[in-house]
Structure 1
Amino acid sequence: MAKSSSSKASKPVFVLNGPNLNLLGQREPEIYGSTTLAEIEKQVKAKAKSLGLAVDCRQSNHEGELVDWIQEARVKASAVILNAGAYSHTSIAIHDALATLDIPVVEVHISNVYKRESFRHHSTISPVATGVICGLGTIGYALALEAIHSKI
């Protein structure tokens, strides 16, 4: 059992961001803040290093590409942090891909989706996630790394 744990810990944590998150810092700063995705990735890499973890940060506006990366995580990642953006509320394909994983998955939302439009109150991802961090801003990514560190 110990061998499996160290094997998983030697693999990177996939940090996957979905549609429109490439526009962070520009898009609706009153909701998402002024931090850019590049700045978040820099913070994530620093936090991961402090925890002795490696990360692989990726962003796509395409659902299928996110599914491909989640499938890749089955063999190449120790865990997944996923901010699927709007796909969180609509994507059965991402749900199904996540359901195949036997590694921790943390769903992250920068904004508090429950203070927003009612269609954002449902997540197709939450039922297959290990945990959810919502509404705490960009620090949610660092908190997700902390949670993953405690799980692997």
Structure 2
Amino acid sequence: MQLTPSGSLRVLLLNGPNLNLLGQREPDIYGTMTFEELNKRIRDYAKEIGIELKSLQSNHEGALIDAIHEAADWADAIVINPGAYTHYSYAIADALKAVRLPAIEVHLSNIHARDEFRRTSVVAPATVGQIAGFGAMSYLLALQAAKAIVQQGRE
């Protein structure tokens, strides 16, 4: 684990395809909070609990994989909402396994209560755990979990 000079933990936050459309995209499922509002809430909370956060949203699988690879050099943990890649990106799962950082999968909606195809995550086996169905709170819970997991590793 690499601590910043201030002693905070470093977390990479990744958001996959279409999450940039929050607030517009299916508000009955994802809510009306915009992506910018969600990111502000996450950043503010991360700062409050002593996490240095670097975030990236991409609609391109390769960009997400490159960010995961780069995280091996600086991050203590990864929080990832793979979006639709959840259900078929073995490449993202392999990247998470390769970097050997604790990763937490998050989803705004409860993927297990939705369409059948959304109930299977090929990414989940490469993560410490999955948090789904709590809206924006899913991300805050994931940050708490990441911090606890990294701190337990220090002991």
Structure-1-length-normalised TM-score: 0.92
Deviation, structure 1 residue 99:
0.6
How many matched pairs?
A: 148
The gaps in structure 2 that reach 5 residues or longer are 151-155
The Cα RMSD (Å) is 1.4
- The question of whether the paired residues in 2 share the 8 Å contact of 1:11 and 1:76 is answered with no
In structure 1, the residue matched to 2:108 is 110
- The question of whether the paired residues in 2 share the 8 Å contact of 1:67 and 1:97 is answered with yes
The structure whose residues are more often helix, as a share, is 1
In structure 1, the residue matched to 2:142 is 144
Task: Give distance in 1, aligned partners of 2:8 and 2:122.
Answer: 29
Deviations 1:33-83 (A, max 9, x none): 011111111111111111111101110000111110111111121111000
User: What does 1:64-79 correspond to in 2, within 5 Å?
Assistant: 64-79=62-77
In structure 2, the residue matched to 1:133 is 131
Is residue 93 from structure 1 mapped to residue 91 from structure 2 by the alignment? yes
The match for 1:22 among 20, 23, 29 is 20
Give, as a single letter, the amino acid of the residue that structure 1 aligns with 2:18.
Answer: N
Task: Give distance in 2, aligned partners of 1:95 and 1:150.
Answer: 22
Deviation, structure 1 residue 142:
0.5
The gaps in structure 1 that reach 5 residues or longer are none
Give, as a single letter, the amino acid of the residue that structure 2 aligns with 1:36.
Answer: T
Deviation, structure 1 residue 10:
4.8
- The question of whether the paired residues in 2 share the 8 Å contact of 1:48 and 1:145 is answered with yes
Deviation, structure 1 residue 84:
0.5
- The question of whether the paired residues in 2 share the 8 Å contact of 1:12 and 1:79 is answered with yes
- The question of whether the paired residues in 2 share the 8 Å contact of 1:15 and 1:82 is answered with yes
Task: Give distance in 2, aligned partners of 1:27 and 1:6.
Answer: 37
Regions of 4+ moved over 4 Å? none
Is residue 36 from structure 1 mapped to residue 42 from structure 2 by the alignment? no
Give the secondary-structure state (helix, strand or coil) at the position aligned to 2:33: coil
Give the secondary-structure state (helix, strand or coil) at the position aligned to 2:51: coil
Give the secondary-structure state (helix, strand or coil) at the position aligned to 1:124: coil
Task: Give distance in 1, aligned partners of 2:25 and 2:2.
Answer: 39
Task: Give distance in 2, aligned partners of 1:121 and 1:94.
Answer: 17
- The question of whether the paired residues in 1 share the 8 Å contact of 2:2 and 2:9 is answered with no
Identity in percent = 47
Deviations 1:5-39 (A, max 9, x none): 646x6552111000000000000000000111111
